[in-house]
Structure 1
Amino acid sequence: MLPHTTNTYWHEFSEISRATPSLNYFERLWAAWYAFMGNDVLATGIMSFMMHELVYFGRSLPWMIIDQMPAMNKYKIQGQKVPSKKEQWDCAKLVLLSHFTVELPQIWFFHPMAQYFGLTTTVPFPSILTMAYQIAIFFVLEDTWHYWSHRALHWGPLYKNIHKIHHQYSAPFGLAAEYASPIEVMILGLGTVSGPILWCAITKDLHILTMYIWIVLRLFQAIDAHSGYEFPWSLHHFLPFWAGADHHDTHHEKFIGNYSSSFRWWDYVLDTESGAEAQKRRRERKLAKAQKAQ
């Protein structure tokens, strides 16, 4: 079904505002969009893809600007490796190609699949508390998926044929967060959507707005982790279990270890941390074990 030709979006907004004055302004905007489009799959597909593009490139832009500011070099983790404009442009072209050929179909078919399991798109929206605890669960589930799938992608044949593309940049930058082969995009993307779908299938309690906020936060996390910058105010200084750019930058520099996305605990527990501090701890443990054996 095509969008209504006799009514405008703002006509629908006015009608909904009169019929349901208890809804807040954002809820009325939301309801008017679905009413105007007249097709939930189309309405969700367009909104989801546009949101993804605006957030991805919108969040990458500040890092691109910072890369052109010599005064910020002191915060660059690998200070001598600032991406050139050509590298940024080459990266953007592949990312855009991936978005339209790989991610767009996934985004488009997400709504009917998730709706089958009970996803809701109606108003009013869920409470902030409900969205907050659900998103926290999604972060934990995705981080677990990311750790194991990312670690598997570093196995010889999988690395050579799939994951090597993402490691083209040993000093990552924000725009390169989704610079990867189509297969990797699908594998890691599955971790982002499978947690919410599983939650929805079990609880029958998930609104697509919660999903949108989760995706936005996950994109911010991925782009910031690839930024290549470490600041005194970086989040991991306040939340020690948060991974952040210093965690993932080391992974790109050393090509091994630090496989998690958002948190540090899988790498810590399974002893796959990378970097000088991790090596120092291993040496200390090995020395202590040797002394104990004497």
Structure 2
Amino acid sequence: MSFNATLAAGATSLYDTLYGNTDLASLNWLERQWVAWYIWIGNPVIATGLASFLLHEIVYFGRCIPWIIIDAIPYFRKWKLQPAKVPTAQEQWECTKQVLFSHFTIELPAIWLFHPLAEAIGMSTYQVPLPSWQTMLPQIAFCFIFEDFFHFVAHQALHTGPLYKHIHKIHHKYSAPFGLAAEYAHPAEVFILGTGTIAGPLLYCYFMRDLHIFTVYVWITLRLFQAIDAHSGYDFPWSLQHILPFWSGAEHHDFHHMAFTNNFSTSFRWWDRIFGTDDKYREYRARVAAMKAKSASPKEFIEAEKRLMEEVEREGLVAEAEAESGGKRKSS
């Protein structure tokens, strides 16, 4: 988008209002595009709301596409955590419809209302220059840590009685999740768990009065990548949890869907470890490691692991029934 062309289209008065004191020559390419977007749309409120929603949709479905392709290629099955359960095209389409419904009924209004509220407590939107990575890094770290703990608490609440039966049960439709299923959930759950994603930036902005929506966009992009990858169903040797041991990743969250219990956090493993809500998961990983050591051949190990998965899933169905009926069960 050409900034000069935008001005030539008759937006000079808006430019004077928003950027009259800005030295364009000092801006980098991205910052000039940022200015051009706001001038082109012609209304800062609409420009920010539209950019926010488009970012969410493009990042979400853009990140899902590689996982859809991977699911369609048998070569990648050796890295799939539950290789016998590959989503069908029909399942992916049904999932997509529910996700789009939530996006337009819950997330669109929330996204559109977020920035006026955040601006009211000090967040910048159209302003340039954009924040440096040194400024953004601690802000994004705060958002990750806040959201992870919020999700840890709220997710466990969603596994109890009526909240599970009437809300969270939809998300557990797939015992072997896939990328698109990251936001496959009841609209109420989208609102509840989504609160953790937007409350972090709001709290930071309220107390620090120093936050730019560009930082929020980086945070949302990383959060969507985390959620989709955690639901991908694949554990590659280069997956992030093998580099950062405290990162959860697909290997951690896939167990939650398979066994129904344990592993309630999103990004990190520490809350589950501290509160003991990863006991069954750690027992499962230990049994897998023991079977691998004892198996005489890869085929024998695959068969043994398959039987163990079936056992864990049966136990998970029992735990799910107890949660749905309001019964009490440790770590559920």
TM-score, length-scaled by structure 2: 0.79
Would the alpha carbon gap of residues 280 and 139 (structure 1) be closer, same or farther in structure 2, given more than 3 Å must change? closer
Q: Is the 8 A contact 2:7 2:39 kept in 1?
A: no
Aligned position for 1:99: 103
For 1:85-234, list aligned pairs within 5 A. Answer: 85-121=89-125, 122-234=127-239
Mapped to 1, the partners of 2:158 and 2:89 lie a distance apart of 29
Question: What RMSD in Å do the two structures reach over aligned CA positions?
Answer: 2.0
Aligned position for 1:9: 6
What is the letter of the counterpart of residue 104 of structure 1?
Answer: L
Structure 1: which 4+ aligned runs deviate by more than 6 Å?
12-18
Mapped to 2, the partners of 1:155 and 1:63 lie a distance apart of 31
Would the alpha carbon gap of residues 230 and 34 (structure 1) be closer, same or farther in structure 2, given more than 3 Å must change? same
Mapped to 1, the partners of 2:61 and 2:285 lie a distance apart of 38
Mapped to 1, the partners of 2:129 and 2:218 lie a distance apart of 16
Matched, 1:84 2:81: no
Identical pairs, percent: 58
Mapped to 1, the partners of 2:250 and 2:152 lie a distance apart of 16
What is the letter of the counterpart of residue 6 of structure 2?
Answer: Y
Would the alpha carbon gap of residues 19 and 129 (structure 1) be closer, same or farther in structure 2, given more than 3 Å must change? closer
1:242 Cα deviation after fit:
0.3
Mapped to 2, the partners of 1:105 and 1:56 lie a distance apart of 17
Aligned position for 2:43: 39
Mapped to 1, the partners of 2:109 and 2:40 lie a distance apart of 23
Would the alpha carbon gap of residues 55 and 274 (structure 1) be closer, same or farther in structure 2, given more than 3 Å must change? farther
1:200 Cα deviation after fit:
0.1
1:165 Cα deviation after fit:
0.3
Aligned position for 1:22: 26
Instruction: Specify the SS of the correspondent of 1:232.
Output: coil
1:280 Cα deviation after fit:
7.9
What is the letter of the counterpart of residue 269 of structure 2?
Answer: R
Deviation per CA, 1:182-207: give whole Å up to 9, x if none. Answer: 00000011000001100000000000
Q: Is the 8 A contact 1:146 1:188 kept in 2?
A: yes
Deviation per CA, 1:64-109: give whole Å up to 9, x if none. Answer: 0000000000100001000000000110011011111111000110
Name structure 2 gaps, 5 residues minimum.
287-332
Mapped to 2, the partners of 1:67 and 1:280 lie a distance apart of 24
Q: Is the 8 A contact 1:8 1:36 kept in 2?
A: no
